[in-house]
Amino acid sequence: MPALPSDERLPLYQRLRDALARHISENRWKAGEAIPTEAVLAADYDLSIGTVRKAIDMLVSERILERQQGRGTFIRRAQFQDSLFRFFRFQTAEGERRIPQSQVLAVDVLPAPAEAAKALQLPDGEPVIHLSRLRLIDGQPVLAEDIWLPKGPFEAILGKDLNQEGPLLYPLYEEFCGQVIASADETLTAEPADERSAGLLGIAAHSPVVLIERLARGYAGQPLEWRRSRGHAQHFRYSVEIR
Amino acid sequence: MPALPSDERLPLYQRLRDALARHISENRWKAGEAIPTEAVLAADYDLSIGTVRKAIDMLVSERILERQQGRGTFIRRAQFQDSLFRFFRFQTAEGERRIPQSQVLAVDVLPAPAEAAKALQLPDGEPVIHLSRLRLIDGQPVLAEDIWLPKGPFEAILGKDLNQEGPLLYPLYEEFCGQVIASADETLTAEPADERSAGLLGIAAHSPVVLIERLARGYAGQPLEWRRSRGHAQHFRYSVEIR
DNA sequence: GAGTGGTCTAGACCACTCA
DNA sequence: GAGTGGTCTAGACCACTCA
């Protein structure tokens, strides 16, 4: 019978949740697999079923686990279909939400610029990975992106040819680096296009662009990616639901 | 002992949640007041405490109720402090989130224009209340707003002098009309300013503005307000958290 | 029919609030 | 100290899945 680690003053369901979350993040069970049944967990940890259910409820509401009545409780696969649009709010002028193609222009390692260091909560000048990337719809550029990642956790993507992969980075972060994006803060502003962005987007310099700054975080709230996307204001459309 | 109405095939906690939600929406208990204790509800409805807690859990996660250990469970006050920024994502250029002043320019009743009718799910030409409103910071116009409301539920605001009230409409909807805004969908686009907006905002015609279209809904998801806000792109800043 | 999660009970005891 | 919500137990029975 494994003992629950972690602070004894916390409720048992919280401690069980933490223990299960750690097992999952250490890949004790793989995505798509079932975890042990509620009855087995209750017996193993010497808890009542109700307490086990409460711990699992938490992980389900965090979208880490998924229940299927009669079958079991499963590690949630970072589902392409599901997560696809969760972080994608930029639409075509017609309101369509097609995933734009991705073209990675450059990958380099450099000392973190001040703004990136601040966003990622790194010491100034700490090495970061910088991606320059273009998003296209029907071959037309719609977004020019600069992406900064802390080098340590994301080192594994340096060896990959990102243009051989799908158009979304977050599944790659998970597959290659074991880093899961759980939430993000975005701020939108408008500015005149600088020459580099104008060139990439194929628009006149100084014409208005929308700038989307995104800080993406992991399950523990730690900053994992800082991103700046610029798109032509004319073709800009962004949707959000406020609850 | 009141019987639970609603479909017998639903779980008891779901039916109790629905019954409590109905009481709240019918103002059986007022905002800020405590509902009966869990033990009393369990006795009244002849349920176990666990089932009552599960129903209350649902309403808490819907932000309709609020628990305070040792004190009771309270109807969530549409808290000025809390809700103030919940629907307010437009910031000053400096990222400040001051509530802009409100200046209502016109209130009229007219047949719903096609777009407003569609958004509010009303038959074409149904009478609606239209507000034209300017938002200012330090006396400078920052947003020009057009607001459409279904006439029936909002008739009570027609008699009020809205410029004698606070700068936020949602508390007034609640106070005067008993209509509570629970969620909203927003879509942002950019466009050149038409002459009316340019005049209101004090900017050159055809200079770029950001257009925010908002559909606000009640607890049951029914559309309650459709709003179009235009602001100068240069001073535009919008923040959102994605979960 | 064996095994899974889903609902529900009838409590006990604890932490916190407030007069 | 009385009253509140918070945690936890040890089940029973149900609905669903799957061989």
Scanning every strand, the nucleotide with its C1' closest to A69's CA turns out to be C5
Residue B176 distance to chain A (closest CA, Å): 23
B-chain residues near A185 (CB < 8 A)? 239-242
Indicate yes or no: CB of A242 within 8 angstroms of CB of B188. Answer: no
> Do B99 and B217 belong together in one domain?
yes
The Cα B64–Cα A5 span in angstroms is: 35
Q: Strand, coil or helix: what is B47?
A: coil
Q: Which of B26, B45, B75 is the last residue of a domain?
A: B75
> Do B90 and B177 belong together in one domain?
yes
Residue type, A112: A
Q: Is B5 among the domain residues?
A: no
Handedness of CA B59, B63, B65, B69 (dihedral sign): positive
Checking if the pLDDT of A107 tops 80, the result is yes
> Do B186 and B199 belong together in one domain?
yes
Nearest residue in chain A measured CA to CA from B239: A187
Binned at pLDDT 50, 70 and 90, residue B93 comes out as: low
Checking if the pLDDT of A136 tops 60, the result is yes
Indicate yes or no: CB of B242 within 8 angstroms of CB of A187. Answer: no
Scanning every strand, the nucleotide with its C1' closest to B48's CA turns out to be C9
> Do B67 and B90 belong together in one domain?
no
Residue A191 distance to chain B (closest CA, Å): 7
Residue B63 distance to chain A (closest CA, Å): 9
> Do A53 and A114 belong together in one domain?
no
Indicate yes or no: CB of A188 within 8 angstroms of CB of B186. Answer: no
Q: Which of B75, B90, B125 is the last residue of a domain?
A: B75
pTM for this structure?
A: 0.74
A-chain residues near B89 (CB < 8 A)? 242
The mean per-residue pLDDT over the stretch B8-28 comes to 85
> Residue closest to C3, CA→C1'?
A70
pLDDT at B80: 40
Domain that holds residue A135: 80-235
Which position has the token pair 């079923």?
A: A49
Q: How far is the CA of B203 from the C1' of C6 (A)?
A: 60
Asked if B101 contacts B135 with a C-beta cutoff of 8 angstroms, the reply is: yes
Checking if the pLDDT of A80 tops 60, the result is no
Reading the block at residue A164, the tokens are 């051989």
The Cα B32–Cα B179 span in angstroms is: 16
Q: Which helix (H) or strand (E) holds B40?
A: helix B38-45
Domain CATH code at residue A49: 1.10.10.10
| DSSP for residue B76 | P
pLDDT in tens, A69-79: 889 999 876 54
> Do B92 and B66 belong together in one domain?
no
Q: Which of B54, B75, B96 is the last residue of a domain?
A: B75
Q: Is B241 among the domain residues?
A: no
3-state secondary structure chain A: CCCCCCCCCCCHHHHHHHHHHHHHHCCCCCCCCECCCHHHHHHHHCCCHHHHHHHHHHHHHCCCEEEECCCEEEECCCCHHHHCCCCCCECCCCCCCCCCEEEEEEEEEEECCHHHHHHHCCCCCCEEEEEEEEEEECCEEEEEEEEEEEHHHHHHHHHCCHHHCCCCCHHHHHHHHCCCCCEEEEEEEEEECCHHHHHHHCCCCCCEEEEEEEEEECCCCCEEEEEEEEEEHHHCEEEEEEC
Reading the block at residue A151, the tokens are 């080098």
Q: How far is the CA of A191 from the C1' of C9 (A)?
A: 62
Scanning every strand, the nucleotide with its C1' closest to A53's CA turns out to be C5
| DSSP for residue B4 | P
Residue A8 approaches strand C within 7 Å at CB: no
Checking if the pLDDT of A215 tops 80, the result is yes
pLDDT in tens, A3-45: 677 677 788 999 999 888 888 877 788 777 889 999 999 988 9
